[in-house]
Structure 1
Amino acid sequence: MPGTHFRRQIAIESYVADFCCLGHRLIVELDGDQHGHEHRLAYDKRRTETLERRGYRVLRFPNHVVMREIDSVLDTIAAALSLGAPSGTTPTPNPSPQGGGE
């Protein structure tokens, strides 16, 4: 989506999101094989719930899906971006120490 900016490896609370579009409050997580284990699934669920309480939407994609079905993954991300930011949310007030972002 033109004009949309994702930042990589952004800290949100005690978590580090793989990719985050602050303006749309959208997080994209890419999950490797280790995410299929039961203890990791429980951790990911708690993490997603925490981020959603902070006003973010979280999309998760297994690495193998990204590698094999990138067009579908990009379509899913574009569809989420077209929805805009969740109502009642605002971008983070603290700019990145590296600069840039939204």
Structure 2
Amino acid sequence: MSISPDARRLIAKLVLLLAVIWMLFLAAGFRGPFDPARFPLFLIPGCAFVPAAYYAIRLHRGDRADRSWHFMAIYAVAGIIMMIVSGRALASPPIL
């Protein structure tokens, strides 16, 4: 399946926007009293958003743009899922 370069760049911009939203999510983890048991939940989506942003930047630079967008899209979807799950876990009351 072939996607036009303009559509690829639009997807890359969306991925970079999601990475910025994750950084705001991470900054929200520093608000209030620090809880070391719950703080790793803020970092989990970064395992997917950091590589997605890397591939988005590669796509904008033109470095192997034919393959970068596949990896970028997969990491972005994984990051969205991880952010929803970790946000849900943070919203629930602690089990202890």
TM-score normalised per structure 2: 0.32
**Structure whose residues are more often strand by fraction:** 1
Q: Which structure's CA Rg is the greater one? A: 2
Report the TM-score, using the length of structure 1 for normalisation: 0.30
